Amino acid sequence: MTRKILLFIPLLFASLLTSCTRDQTQVQVVHTPLLTFTLNGTATWTAGNYSFAPVYQVVVYPQDTLLRPQVYNRYSLQATGKDEVGDIYQILITFDAADKNQLIGTYATQYNALGGLAQVQLFNLTNASALEAFSLCSGNLANAVFQVKNQSVTENLITGTFQLSLCNTRDTTTRVSITNGIFENVTY
């Protein structure tokens, strides 16, 4: 009987060891995109959806004709959303980068080796019979800044800030100010 018990114990341990398997766990990181700004210091706008147009190359000619033109990769971010009052706005931000694998930097209307801010447009879509369009003010371009602070090349994500002064395209004396612009985990 003792011999049967002694043979049974190793068989019991062997069956327990072979029946144990490691648990497999999958971890997935979910990035929640955010795109928001303050309009005229009062209303906070948040994007309901956004998209990037396909990247293409453009040639930018410097104002100094003695300098050579530069080839850039053009990125166009378009987002639509509402502010807390319910007004619907669409924003289009177009910037040019010299290296598509290195977007981190500050983009302004004055181009540098990194690139520059090509165009910004804001459309007030709230009232279909009285649509308003705004674009960068020609006299106040120094205040237009779009800054990419972080980039994940493997996940195609960027994070950063922006601030802009925009003029009404029909009446340039009417201006809007975009401050506290934030974009986080935006897929480009």
Provide the residue ranges of all domains of the chain, joining segments of one domain with +.
Answer: 32-187
From the CB of residue 58, how many other CB atoms can be counted at a distance below 10 Å?
A: 13
Q: How far apart are CA 151 and CA 102, in angstroms?
A: 8
Per-residue pLDDT tens digits for 68-108: 899 999 999 999 999 998 999 999 999 999 999 999 999 99
Question: The pTM is what?
Answer: 0.80
Per-residue pLDDT tens digits for 20-65: 556 676 666 666 889 999 999 889 999 999 999 999 999 988 877 8
Top pLDDT among 14 and 23 is at: 23
